[in-house]
Amino acid sequence: MLQHVAIRPTLFAAVLATLTTLPALAVEPGVDIASPRVAITTVDAGTVAFHPNRIVVEQNDHVRWTWTGGLHNTTSGSACVGNGLWNAPLNGPNTGLTRLFPEPPSTIPFFCMPHCGFMTGQVVVTSEISVLAKESGASVQLDWTGGGGIYRIFRSSNPLFPAATTAVLTAANGTNALTFLDQTGGTPPVGGVNFYLVMNHF
C-alpha cells in the first residue's frame, strides 16, 4: 500500500538497518522511508524543466510527477516519440502521475510533449538494495548490494533520528562503497544504534 508521506526530491532510495527489528521511521523531517518508496519530480512554468530531470529509484519503487505551473505532460520515450509506457497531463493542480517501476535495471527516458525538444528526463531503475548489519569485533559492519550511485549512512542512537543524535557518514572507501564499518564507540547494545542507508542523497 502506498503511504503518502512528504519527501524531498533528493531522496531516491533508502533502507533502514538496525540490530533489532523496528518499524520504519523517518531519518529527518521530509525524508520518506515508506514502502514502496516514492521519488518526486515537479514541473513549473518558469524554468520549463523537470526538477530533477534524472530520477534514480530501486526496482518496484514509484516516481511521482507533480505540477506546479505551466502546461506540460509526462510521456515515456525519447526524441519526441512516445514508447507507450505512460502519458499523463501535468497542466493543473489536479493533474499528475504516480507510476510503479517494476522494470529490470535500466534507464527509461521521458519528455514533455509540448516542449519535447528540450524538456526531457530519465528514470534510472536500479536493482533493489539489500542491507545486512552485523557485529565485527568491537564495531558494527553494514554490507549492502543493489542500488547504485552515491550512498550516505545516517547513524543515530534514537530510531526517530533526531538532529541532536544523528550523524551523516560516508564509508571509508567513498560514496560508491558497498560496505561500512562503524567504529564510533565499540559494539553497541542490541537496539542501541540505528542506521539508515540512503542512495543519491546529496
Report pLDDT digits (tens) over 135-174: 877 788 888 888 777 788 888 888 778 888 888 888 888 8
SS3 at position 163: helix
Residue 109: per-residue pLDDT = 98
Residue 19: per-residue pLDDT = 39
Residue 201: per-residue pLDDT = 55
Residue 132: per-residue pLDDT = 84
Identify whether the C-beta of residue 125 lies closer than 8 Å to the C-beta of residue 58. yes
Residue 12: per-residue pLDDT = 32
**Mean pLDDT estimate for the chain:** 78
Highest mean pLDDT among 29-33, 57-61, 108-112, 137-141: 108-112
For the segment 189-199, the average pLDDT, to the nearest whole number, is 77
pLDDT at 182 exceeding the cut of 80: yes
More confident call, 190 vs 128: 128
Q: Provide CB contacts within 8 A for 1, sequence distance 6+.
A: none
Domain 38-126 sits in CATH at 2.60.40.420
C-alpha cell at 174: 567513498
pLDDT at 15 exceeding the cut of 70: no
- Provide CATH 2.60.40.420 ranges for the chain: 38-126
Residue 70: per-residue pLDDT = 93
- Residue found under cell 536493482: 127
Residues 60-92 pLDDT 10s: 888 999 999 999 999 999 989 999 999 999 999
- Residue found under cell 542507508: 197
Residue 187 — very low, low, confident or very high, per pLDDT cuts 50/70/90?
A: low
For the segment 42-64, the average pLDDT, to the nearest whole number, is 90
Q: Which CATH number fits domain 13-35+129-199: 2.60.40, 1.25.10, 2.60.120, 1.20.120?
A: 2.60.40
Q: With the CA atoms of 24, 28, 182 and 141 taken in that order, what torsion angle do they form, in degrees rounded to the nearest 10?
A: 30
The pLDDT > 70 percentage for the chain reads: 77
| DSSP helix, strand, coil percent of the chain (3-state; round to 5) | 5, 45, 50
Q: What's 19's DSSP letter?
A: S
DSSP notation for 24-64: ---SSTT----SS-EEEEEE-SSS-SEESSEEEEETT-EEE
